[in-house]
Amino acid sequence: MPRRAVAPRCAALVADDVPIAVEEIAGRPRASSGSPWEPSVGYCRAVRSCNLITVSGTVGLNADRTYPATAGEQAARALAIIRAAIEALGGRLEHVVRTRMFVTDIRRFAAEVGRAHGAVFGGVRPATSMVEVSRLIDDAALVEIEADAIVP
């Protein structure tokens, strides 16, 4: 199967402040969102292998490295970053087949995080889960989201 060309940088993104850089490493296109943890932890935002795009756990970090005030707003921001990474690697939101949501307080945040997820994926309805965790990578982060997409 021939590999699709991947742009060196995605120009038109969901939000102007979601820059995604794409490079090929070990024969696979990889997207970086500029997260401060990517270089220190040794990962990238998303990787494409053939028709599979896997997006790492994504918190709702703003371009200025602050967080939105609510879990719902953080989820919406995380989903915008996920969308930008998927699109930079040649996919679309409708290609998403699985998401995973991690929240620090499921009783307080399930409804608002669920609404943010539904606003993006209501028409796609991927398999998903929402799990409570004791802590995320940053104390200010209330939600983290992963996604997997299969590009036809």
C-alpha to C-alpha distance for 58 and 44, rounded to whole angstroms = 10
pLDDT band at 37 (very low <50, low <70, confident <90, very high): confident
Would the pLDDT of 151 be above 90? Answer: yes
21-150 has CATH 2.60.40.10 classification: no
Alpha-carbon torsion, ordered 129, 135, 137, 143, to 10 deg = 40
C-alpha to C-alpha distance for 105 and 21, rounded to whole angstroms = 32
Element (H, E) at 56: strand 52-59
Q: Is 49 helix (H, G, I), strand (E, B) or coil?
A: strand
For the whole model, what pTM was predicted?
0.88
> Residue 122, class by beta-carbon neighbours within 10 Å (0-12 exposed, 13-18 middle, 19+ buried)?
exposed
Give 62-121 pLDDT, tens digit per residue.
Answer: 999 999 999 999 999 999 999 999 999 999 999 999 999 999 999 999 999 999 999 999
